[in-house]
Amino acid sequence: MIISMGSHATKEQIEQVCDRIREFGYKVHSIQGEERVVIGAVGIGDVTACLDQLEAMPGVESAVRISAPYKFVSREFRSQRTRVRVNGTEIGGDDFVVIAGPCSVETESQIMRTAEAVARAGARLLRGGAYKPRTSPYEFQGLELEGLKLLRKAKEATGLAIVTEVMSDGEVELVAEYADILQIGARNMQNISLLKALGRTTRPILLKRGMSSTIRELLMSAEYIVAHGNPQVVLCERGIRTFEPATRNTCDISAVAVLNELTHLPVLVDPSHAAGRRSLVPPLARAAVAVGADGLLVEVHPTPEKAFSDGAQSLAIPEFEAMMQSLGPYLKIWRETRVAEGAAAL
């Protein structure tokens, strides 16, 4: 059950609602939204009687039953898209948002050159890994704090907001000092302690789908973050592991359409990790626009052949510029579709 309190609900009214929910044997998760408090109740009890009573209580705007196992992130809970605001950019809103940058932050000149180039080409946020979850312990593990400091410099120089990965709950506070969005990598999608810690931060979260995770598991992980207090979650399809070896992963483009039905959260596509090969990135990026994603996460490097990680799938700067150009006609249709969708919802 989800209980939305009216915008003028008092603390006492909220407390009374929580007490009544507990009396019915449910567990309470409340989240403080921008305008109102929303209370989630989970467990086993007499739903119909509980809903009837709650709806009649002072301060309650609505009380509804959500059948999906994920509650706060489901479309049943909220039919309108969630817009996640980052430094003046809205993800999930009226603009398609491109996030670009190198897999790893390597040197000052590398991150500065990339940041300036992607900003010029139309990217709205800069991505770069400082803490890298590498498959092999012998591969480059990232510059860590030094990398975060370089990202801050790049932000100061370009105004681009920063997206960077956090790998453990103990590092959330530190990374959040430097990042505008915290990225959770595929390998950590079900790191429950980390998800709970993300619920307690005020930064938005970019949650990547695990390479062997179902859409439902992705939504349950998002639910952890929201149920623990942070409603600003952006999802990212980054390719899943299948029997097909021609690409690094299989870009599950249909996941975007499915997610758009099941959740109000924004959905990005990462064509770089999905493809594993730079020639495939622009066509997959166009597919992401066409299917109705909210944006892209793309790896770009000034000299991909010398990259410390993921060089084969990184676009060189002129290739990124060309890709951005090629998206133009698709973005026109994307905007028209969004406007029509907004008008239909009124």
Can you give the binding site for Mn ion, defined by CB under 5 A? 103, 310
Nearest to 14 by CA among 49, 39, 34: 39
H-helix or E-strand spanning residue 224: helix 215-227
Phi, psi of 205, rounded to the nearest 5 degrees = -120, 135
Q: How far apart are CA 7 and CA 28, in angstroms?
A: 19
Q: Which of 81, 208 has the CB closer to ligand PEP? A: 208
Q: How far apart are CA 71 and CA 84, in angstroms?
A: 18
The mark string for 234-253 relative to ligand PEP (x by CB under 6 A, - otherwise) is ----x---------------
Nearest to 71 by CA among 1, 126, 4: 1
Work out which of 186, 225, 235, 315 binds ligand PEP, going by CB under 6 A: 186
* Amino acid code (one letter) for 264: H
CB of 211 to ligand PEP, least distance (A): 7
Number of residues forming the site for ligand PEP (CB under 6 A) = 9
Q: Which stretch binds ligand PEP (CB under 6 A): 64-72, 115-123, 179-187, 336-344?
A: 179-187
Phi, psi of 183, rounded to the nearest 5 degrees = -90, 135
| Residue 103 is a binding residue for ligand PEP (CB under 6 A) | yes
Q: Which of 54, 300 has the CB closer to ligand PEP? A: 300
> Which of the residues 41 through 100 are near ligand PEP (CB under 6 A)?
none
> Which of the residues 190 through 229 are near ligand PEP (CB under 6 A)?
208
Tell me which of ligand PEP, Mn ion, none is bound by residue 286, counting a contact when its beta carbon lies within the kind-specific cut-off of 5 to 8 angstroms: none
Residue 216 CB partners (closer than 8 Å, separation 6+) = 69, 70
CB of 270 to ligand PEP, least distance (A): 6
Q: Which two tokens stand for residue 55?
A: 């709806």
| Residue 273 is a binding residue for ligand PEP (CB under 6 A) | yes
H-helix or E-strand spanning residue 23: helix 11-23
CB of 300 to ligand PEP, least distance (A): 12
Q: Which two tokens stand for residue 272?
A: 């770089």
End-to-end alpha carbon distance in the chain = 25
Q: Which stretch binds ligand PEP (CB under 6 A): 24-32, 60-68, 184-192, 287-295?
A: 184-192
Number of residue whose CB is nearest ligand PEP: 185
Q: How far apart are CA 55 and CA 6, in angstroms?
A: 11
CB of 102 to ligand PEP, least distance (A): 9
Enumerate binding residues for ligand PEP (CB under 6 A): 103, 129, 133, 185-187, 208, 238, 273
